[in-house]
Amino acid sequence: MFVKLIVCLIAGMGAGIGTGLAGLSAAAVISPMLITFLGVDPYEAVGIALASDVLASAASAWTYHKNKNLDVKNGLIMMVSVLVFTLVGSYLGSLVPKSTMGGFSMFMTLLVGIKFILRPVMTTHESMEKRDPKKMALYSILCGILIGLICGFVGAGGGMMMLLVLVSVLGYELKTAVGTSVFIMTFTALTGAISHFAIGSGVTDLSILAMCVLFTLLGAWLSARFANVASAKTLNRATGVVLVCLGLFMIAFQYLF
């Protein structure tokens, strides 16, 4: 039980910090740790990670919303296509050999972290207001389809892809991008978790699920509070460092354990 507690604490807090600070999906951290150290079935580990994402993302989204760093209108447009194709991706994921799951997100996490360190996002709220609404809606739908497939297929919540899309394609400033990302992830993670557990055999150890949900929620709440008071420069650096560290941490798990 002690080993479970330590693994879930590290995995949950790490995932929560990534969620609240950068919109990272809990699956990027929780899945490989549960698979490596606790021997959890890969498909089940993805479901636990997605379940942990739900409350963590919701708490983060609420914090960003209170600080006026959440674009609900455009977020809803992307969310619809993401939700539909999360179901499709989840079904496709159940057909793939389990050995291929659990490791996809680590390289994306590392690369995105490096991007924020070397090329920080300095977009302002004022520049966001100049965007073309029709083009934004179209891009949101198309990108939502891709993100939904990734979310359902590998349980990544689409976190890294969504953050990249929001800042690079749709021109969001970083805080609003993270806030909108975790808002969408609240619903994609819920859909993904339900479909994973429905298609699979459910959760075999409820204590692991409960601890992961609790620790992820705590980490997300604390990091989201920090992110909303930090300057853009500080947030970019903090986000980049956290993502690079998490990426290297997961790659080490993949090849050393």
- The residues near 100 (Cβ < 8 Å, ≥ 6 apart) are none
pLDDT band at 37 (very low <50, low <70, confident <90, very high): confident
Residue 57 pLDDT exceeds 60 = yes
In whole angstroms, what is the distance from residue 100 CA to residue 156 CA?
Answer: 13
In whole angstroms, what is the distance from residue 237 CA to residue 87 CA?
Answer: 34
Residue 110 pLDDT exceeds 80 = no
> Lowest-confidence range among 41-50, 118-127, 136-145, 239-248?
118-127
| Domain edges within the chain | 2-256
Residue 107 pLDDT exceeds 60 = yes
In whole angstroms, what is the distance from residue 64 CA to residue 224 CA?
Answer: 7
User: CA nearest 93: which of 54, 11, 148, 37?
Assistant: 148
In whole angstroms, what is the distance from residue 65 CA to residue 240 CA?
Answer: 23
pLDDT band at 99 (very low <50, low <70, confident <90, very high): very low
Token couple for 101: 């799951």
- Cα→Cα distances 234→21, 39, 44, Å: 11, 38, 36
> Lowest-confidence range among 7-16, 93-102, 109-118?
93-102
The helix/strand/coil state of 119 is coil
**Tokens 């950068």 sit at which residue?**
22
pLDDT band at 100 (very low <50, low <70, confident <90, very high): very low
Contact yes or no for 4/207 (Cβ under 8 A): yes
pLDDT band at 156 (very low <50, low <70, confident <90, very high): low
Residue 187 pLDDT exceeds 80 = yes
